[in-house]
Amino acid sequence: MIGIDLGTTNSVVAYLRAGQAEVIANSEGAKTTPSVVFYETLDTPLVGELAKRQLLLRPDRTVRSVKRLMGRRYSEAKDNLAKLPYPTRPSADDEIRILIDNGELSPEKVSCDILRKMRATAADFLGEESAQAVVTVPAHFNDSQRQATKHAAEQAGIEVLRIINEPTAAALAYGLRKQKAERVAVFDFGGGTFDISILELDEDVFEVRSTNGDTELGGDNIDELLSEAIAGWILKETGVDPGVDVGARQRIREAAEQAKCELSSLASTVVSLPFIVAGPRGPHHFSREIQRPEFEALVRPVLDRLKEPCARALSDGGLRRADIHSVILVGGSTRIPAVQQIVREFFGLEPNKSVNPDEAVALGAAIQAAVLSGEIEEVLLLDVTPLSLGIEVEGGVFRVLIPRNSSIPTAVKRRFTTTRDNQENVDVHALQGERSAAAENRSLAHLRLSGVAPSPAEVPEIEVSFAIDANGILSVSATDLTSGAQKEMIVESYRPAGEQEAERLAAEAEAQAEQDREFLRRVGRRQAALATQRAIAAFMESSGELITEEDGAALRQGLFRLDVAVHADNQEAVAETRAALLEIAQKYPEFLQAGRPSVEQVE
């Protein structure tokens, strides 16, 4: 059994030998394998360092940084796709398709080829096929992204024993056999994603208190900013835009990445790009020195985004900065001195560099694989789900069933009812996110329960069950407790086409909190109006002889106006018309005795 860190920039595979986790070197002798794939043809992928060299020569056939696209719809990622060196387009069901000459690939297929390379690396070293593995994902990956990663591994011939979060794996590598209790923050800033997880380590118990992050924040963002700056300098100096040439763009990107790495240990570096562009007077060369302060000022917009997820993770865990004993740095981008300074300033602690930031995640995955195989028995790992899960209820409201940062595995059951008389089908719309409005969260799946026993509205009891396994993957079921009809499914949300509903993470939910409160108030007023409408209509039908002709006419006219106001979403008219209706209806004791809603009850 092996552990695999499927990274945005590099991937690593590790195993356990004599109780110690070790990284396995690939066929080129390196412990890290670039997550780059070159396709001479679609059926002959070349993975790793040799593929990375093709980025300059054949960028149209070379794919990198595909991890961010895993499990995402084209409609969600389209704003970022233009920055990639390879063209993309949507498929009929909104999946992202990577175009290679006259062929196309899915992000899942590219990741499959990388994982196949990792499996072959382990097999060559161990002398036997390693068909079982623990695979890591960013802590803030949603259900779709986890499912896509699991499917990619299965297509590569790997039996996925467990999907675990990268910061949690790094904590395993850091804390195994430490004989002291401490609370640590794992600061995982890699090539494509950023995660911050807070864990309680107590000897051999690893409990995740909270996790947060940004799946659109990584070293790639730094490379993009520096690349844009270099391209701007070239344009200003030569009058020729290097952005129109794919090869020039890739050379600039490579130079930016190299400069970033060099400035992590040097005070300055020189970007040298001979023959980078050609103008009317011939080719132009570019050379410029970059000082570390200038570099840090250029990438400050990216670095400043690291603070907010840290604050949210502390808040979700009910902790203060002073409660953290150690901050573990994971991911190659944490080598940047400015990143380490942000950690010092935010947590008031010197960053812990005791683990190799490139290897820690794979080592932790190998430890978890050993735990599952029984080779290590004393480790207990308690992880959490990164985002809230729930369903859409009447009025387009998102009802949370499993809150974010709930320990996994977990299962929850809730009972709901119908909204129409004699309803025989119930649609369960599963979503993931933090917004009160269902349409503002990420749609995961639609489950239709048929065979519901026909009954008046609000009589049937429909039990909805959400269960998250140890991999963080969701299954949903619905049962009519009267008829016994049942429907269940494993959510594979990255495949079905549906409405284009973008994921809103916790930060966006906080920013739109007042908008969400107003949405809930509007839904509440609408539902109150509908309840009043039903109650008065039922009262008029059952007690028509008690109502005076004048009041009857006023009620009928009011019901019509209320119906128009509700459908027009005219909140002011809804409130006025409903109040007028209740003022008339509440003159009759029979209306109140029948339990009809008063103003106070329905508000």
- Name residue, tokens 């940062």: 405
What is the distance between the alpha carbons of residues 537 and 549, in angstroms, rounded to a whole number?
A: 15
DSSP state letters, 115-175: HHHHHHHHHHHHTS---EEEEEE-TT--HHHHHHHHHHHHHTT-EEEEEEEHHHHHHHHHH
Per annotation, catalytic residue among 5, 207, 383, 501: 5
**DSSP alpha helix (H) spans, 246-329:** 246-262, 292-298, 300-304, 307-316
Q: What are phi and psi of 61, to 5 degrees?
A: -120, 10
Q: What are phi and psi of 440, to 5 degrees?
A: -90, 0
Tell me if residue 67 is catalytic: yes
Is residue 217 within 8 Å of residue 359, measured between CB atoms? no
Cis peptide preceding 456, ω within 30 of 0:
no
Q: DSSP class of residue 67?
A: G
Tell me if residue 5 is catalytic: yes
What is the distance between the alpha carbons of residues 325 and 185, in angstroms, rounded to a whole number?
A: 8
Helix (H) or strand (E) holding 396: none
Our CA angle for 59, 64, 65, nearest 5°, is 140
Adjacency order of strands within the sheet including 442-450:
397-402, 389-393, 425-432, 442-450
What is the distance between the alpha carbons of residues 501 and 510, in angstroms, rounded to a whole number?
A: 18
Which residues make Cβ contacts (< 8 Å) with residue 109, sequence separation at least 6? 152, 155
Chain centroid to CA 482: 37
Best CA proximity match to 212, nearest among 197, 200, 192, 199:
197
Per annotation, catalytic residue among 76, 113, 143, 188: 188
Q: Give me the residues paired with residue 415 across strands.
A: 463
Tell me if residue 188 is catalytic: yes
Per annotation, catalytic residue among 31, 52, 67, 117: 67
**CA R_g for the chain:** 29
Q: Show the tokens assigned to 467.
A: 């269960």
Best CA proximity match to 237, nearest among 271, 269, 267:
271
**Terminal C-alpha separation, the chain:** 58
Per annotation, catalytic residue among 113, 166, 207, 358: 166
Best CA proximity match to 598, nearest among 531, 551, 525, 543:
531
Q: Show the tokens assigned to 439.
A: 């349409």
Which residues make Cβ contacts (< 8 Å) with residue 324, sequence separation at least 6? 183, 184, 185, 198, 314, 347, 349
Q: Which long-range contacts (CB under 8 A, 24 or more apart) does 262-265 make?
A: 263/290, 263/292, 263/295, 263/336, 264/335, 264/336, 264/337, 265/335
Tell me if residue 202 is catalytic: no
Best CA proximity match to 15, nearest among 332, 368, 356:
368
Best CA proximity match to 256, nearest among 83, 80, 509:
83
Catalogue the active-site residues.
5, 67, 166, 188
